[in-house]
Amino acid sequence: MDRRSFLSTSLAGTGLALTGVQSALAELADGPVKRVGVIGTGWYGKCDLFRLLQVAPVEVVSLCDVDSKMLSDCADMVVDRQKSGKRPRTYADYRKMLAEKDLDIVLIGTPDHWHALPTIEAIKAGADVYVQKPISVDVIEGQAMVAAARKYGRVVQVGTQRRSTPHLVDAKKQIIDTGMLGKISHAEIYCYYHMRTRDNPPDQAPPANLDYEMWTGPAPMRPYNRLCHPRSWRAFKEYGNGILGDMCIHMLDTVRWVLDLGWPTKVSSHGGIYMDKNSKANIPDTQSATFEFPELNVAWTHRTWGNPPDPDYPWGATLYGDKGTLKMSVNRYDFIPAGRKDPTIHKDVVMELEEYPVDKTEKDLEQHVAPAIRAHMIDFLKSIGDRSKPVADIEQGHISTAACILANMSLELGRSLAFDPVKHIVVGDQQATEMLRRPYRAPWVHPELDSI
């Protein structure tokens, strides 16, 4: 199969319309094979990489991770997955990988505190970038990432793949854009997964395969604990933005996308550790936040305990209009007209397991999310081909990320925050403005606009 046929077949598997997208990808298909590097070869680094390999005949030439075992295991898997069968080069330091300056695409799947610096350096090295959400752990990091993308003319797609989730794209087109909801004046977003770790293991020496000093990087240094690596680092505010940064950002970004919303005018939040006080985790187990937009509030709630109000929607977004209600999740959507209790339009996710049978056995893959990642990668490739902004452009990722960071700041400060996106300050609040830039641990230097 030649590269053009490969891309055409891959597009058909996503269920996306071929007109326009296919022509935009034609130049990419006929050009040189794109050389790919990955920084962060853990859970989602591999999920994103293997979906890219499913939809494009790229060559994975470089992998980077501070965990030598994880790195070697991923390299072995790439040998089996990519057409050439070649083993990629491996690096323990992303700076050495990027210094080669021979990558067209860089995927970044590190913990959140390691998103900003590698993204900016990859951009400077001439690569287009796919970076996981949230894009940053503070607001100024995100501002610098947007500035770098614009200065160097690089395409940067953020892993907020709800914007490419096929059944949610359908909901936007068929329900929202046609006006079936009428005037939409309220949105609720929520997560009731019991996802905050309840463990409290003792601190210990890091394993020999992990460079913990480099893993910590610019974040505050904590004693090593097995919860930090891999995956449970999300339970610690030193490395991420809590459940708001992990789960709220997806649904807030979804609402912003389907309703074409920009920056919230005001953000407020309340909550804390109310239920599970014995865990090692230091992020809230209960939190609410309100994101105020003109004539519309988006209200977030999460609880990592108890039952969800609707067992069919433990994580999702609900839009309320004067003509009806739309419930959306990664698994389905339902439209309920005003005055009715039951939905009149329902659609489920299509997991494409027959089109991509390897999805059936891939370890830790969220099978229902794989089609969205594939579609998101195709949108990324299309934007690379025609040098346009992707559907989850870095600026959109910055807005959704910063809004969640502001909510966490509001919780900490105990007051509402009004953010000025032009001046990048919290209006009338010097203390909050200073918190937009989190201190970096030496010798790492926080990115600033004048250093981009």
pLDDT tens per residue across span 232-242: 999 999 999 99
pTM over 0.85? The answer is: yes
For the chain, give percent helix, strand, coil, nearest 5: 40, 20, 45
Q: Helix axis angle, 139-152 relative to 394-413, nearest 10°?
A: 170
Give the mean pLDDT of 89-114: 98
- The topology under which CATH files domain 3-163+367-393 is Rossmann fold (3.40.50)
Task: State the CATH class of domain 166-350+398-443.
Answer: alpha beta
Parse the chain into domains and list their residue ranges. Answer: 3-163+367-393, 166-350+398-443
Give the mean pLDDT of 354-373: 96
pLDDT of residue 124: 98
Element (H, E) at 169: helix 166-171
pLDDT of residue 31: 76
Give the mean pLDDT of 215-222: 98
Fold equal for 3-163+367-393 and 166-350+398-443: no
284-311 confidence digits (pLDDT tens)? 999 999 999 999 999 999 999 999 999 9
Mean pLDDT check: name the lowest of 19-23, 250-254, 349-353: 19-23
Q: How many CB atoms lie within 10 A of CB 305?
A: 13
Dihedrals φ, ψ of 432, to 5°?
-65, -40
pLDDT of residue 451: 85
Report the b/e string of 28-43 with b at 16+ CB within 10 A: bbeeeebbbbbbbbbb
pLDDT surpasses 80 at 25: no
pLDDT surpasses 80 at 431: yes
pLDDT surpasses 70 at 175: yes
pLDDT surpasses 70 at 66: yes
Alpha carbons within 13 angstroms on the beta-carbon side of residue 334 total 13
Name which of 167, 128, 134, 156 is nearest 369 in CA terms.
167
